[in-house]
Amino acid sequence: MLRMRDDIKEEFDLEQVYLGYNLLTPEINHDPAVKFAGFANVGSTSTLCYDLDELNQYIKKNKAVYLCFLAFPIDDMDFLLENDWEDIELEQHLRHKFRLSFVVQGAVRSSEGYKCRTFKFIYTA
């Protein structure tokens, strides 16, 4: 993931690229949000827009399943703070470059207080 972050920083001339990952376990089904909203909170992000039944199948079939995310600071109009790219434009370029299926739903706050668009994806080992 660090290589991915460094490639993005260089190619898109960005300094603020945040990344993270969380190991998914069957305990995601016990999150109170699952019962009420249909998704689980996982670390800095959530399983929002993922099918929990499908995620549970991944967990059963693989040694490790990670919910990964890249996050980029955005303004109130969803443009990246560091250049004039709209988040949807960045998503298209990331999908093409990394051949990953990203879920772009929601935002997180960086430790500096910036609103950041998240690009989530699943990694299995």
pLDDT beyond 90 at 23: yes
Mean pLDDT of all residues in the chain?
88
pLDDT beyond 90 at 111: no
Mean pLDDT score, 43-51: 88
| The pLDDT of residue 109 | 80
| The pLDDT of residue 87 | 78
The predicted model scores a pTM of 0.84
Query: How many domains does the chain divide into?
Result: 1
Structure tokens at 9: 């920083």
| The pLDDT of residue 57 | 92
CA distance to 49, 70, 81, per residue, from 76 (Å)? 22, 19, 10
* Residue range of the domain that includes 85: 2-124
Instruction: Mark 101-116 as b/e (b = at least 16 C-beta within 10 Å).
Output: ebbbeebbeeeeebbb
Structure tokens at 111: 């430790």
